[in-house]
Amino acid sequence: GIIFFYAVARIIIIIFALFVLLNNIVENNGYNIMTMAVDSTEKYDASLVKPVILGGGIAGLATAVALKNIAGISPIILEKSSLSSFQNVQVGGAVQFGPNGLKALRAIGGEALMQKCIQSGSIIKGNAMIFPGMPHKPTFFPDTTEEDNDGLPKVLVRWGIVRELLVQHLSPETTILTEAGGDVCGYEATKIERNIILLPKGTNESTIMDRDPANLIVSAEGVRSKFRYLVNHNKDRFGENEEDLTALINNDVKDSGRINLKAIVPRDLDDSFKPGYTYAYFAQNAGVACFAG
């Protein structure tokens, strides 16, 4: 089919940043992240870290997989969508994994997670670019990724399938609460054990009242994150007079001058399309790019 999709290289950046975070958490507990080995002379108490992850997308789920497999920590994930939407593998566009992205999956979930991702997608053999005024003369660029990166390919996988694979690699102790977290508008630090309580809009009660308070909040809400706004403006909650949260958050997003639209349009491809190649159509003045594959 024809796919409009946006790059998800920031997922790799998030996973890399997570390694730094986990290293800070466990550096004094006899735990070596790179070798995933525990010093038997010291005991690491994972129960001391009680994380809540806001967002059950790829970034939030990858964080949860890494927390469990690298540091032995089982988080709670708050996902604002419904259970049926969360389990729908047909949602989203396409995620393109290069060798670095595949290595990141292997680092957080082992060889099995990386291989399932490769098997669930399409290996990219190359790219075809079609420039303005040359609709029938694509320029082919064969991909040399495997030759240059230890035999690892470049692969294109549907977004919903990547999410499903990450869910399959969560520990049984990880809790996912759907239709939750969308109303969180702040947090409150308690004086006891330095815990943090998430606050929904218009109340001082916790969103997860029946569970222990967290002491680590991971914001994986996407580009329009409420917590990014709070951190950037040195706040712990939205005030009662800040009714239009959407406008506040949108104004806080850095605008690079680009508008990314994403949609999937099922369409049969004729024999003129070369198997294993993605096709990029560039409009006049570089206004639109349409990707097919």
pLDDT tens for the chain, 293 residues long, are: 334 344 444 555 555 555 555 555 555 444 443 343 444 445 557 778 888 999 999 999 999 999 999 888 889 999 999 999 999 988 877 888 989 999 999 999 999 999 999 999 988 888 888 887 776 788 888 877 665 667 888 898 988 999 999 999 998 888 899 998 888 888 887 776 667 778 776 654 544 544 567 888 898 988 778 888 888 888 888 776 655 677 777 776 665 555 565 566 667 778 888 888 888 877 776 656 666 66
Q: State which residues form the domain around 111.
A: 7-126+142-182+254-262
The partner residues of 49 in beta bridges, in order of sequence, read none
User: Is residue 1 domain-resident?
Assistant: no
Please report the pLDDT score of residue 18 as a whole number. Answer: 57
Beta-carbon contacts of 1 under 8 Å, excluding residues fewer than 6 positions away, are: 264, 265, 266, 267, 269, 292
Please report the pLDDT score of residue 130 as a whole number. Answer: 83
Pick from 74, 54, 55, 76: which is nearest to 66 by CA? Answer: 74
Please report the pLDDT score of residue 151 as a whole number. Answer: 83
User: Is residue 137 domain-resident?
Assistant: no
User: Is residue 12 domain-resident?
Assistant: yes
Pick from 107, 13, 115, 23: which is nearest to 65 by CA? Answer: 107
Please report the pLDDT score of residue 225 as a whole number. Answer: 83
User: Is residue 132 domain-resident?
Assistant: no
Please report the pLDDT score of residue 96 as a whole number. Answer: 87
- Cα distances from 225 to residues 55, 99, 197, 220, in angstroms, run 10, 28, 18, 8
Please report the pLDDT score of residue 33 as a whole number. Answer: 39
User: Is residue 162 domain-resident?
Assistant: yes
The CA distance from 235 to 254, in Å, is 19
User: Is residue 238 domain-resident?
Assistant: no
Please report the pLDDT score of residue 57 as a whole number. Answer: 92
User: Is residue 221 domain-resident?
Assistant: no
Please report the pLDDT score of residue 104 as a whole number. Answer: 93
Please report the pLDDT score of residue 107 as a whole number. Answer: 93
Pick from 158, 205, 208, 166: which is nearest to 56 by CA? Answer: 166
How many domains, in total, are found in the chain? 1
User: Is residue 233 domain-resident?
Assistant: no
Beta-carbon contacts of 118 under 8 Å, excluding residues fewer than 6 positions away, are: 102, 153, 155
Please report the pLDDT score of residue 78 as a whole number. Answer: 92
Side chain identity, residue 46: A
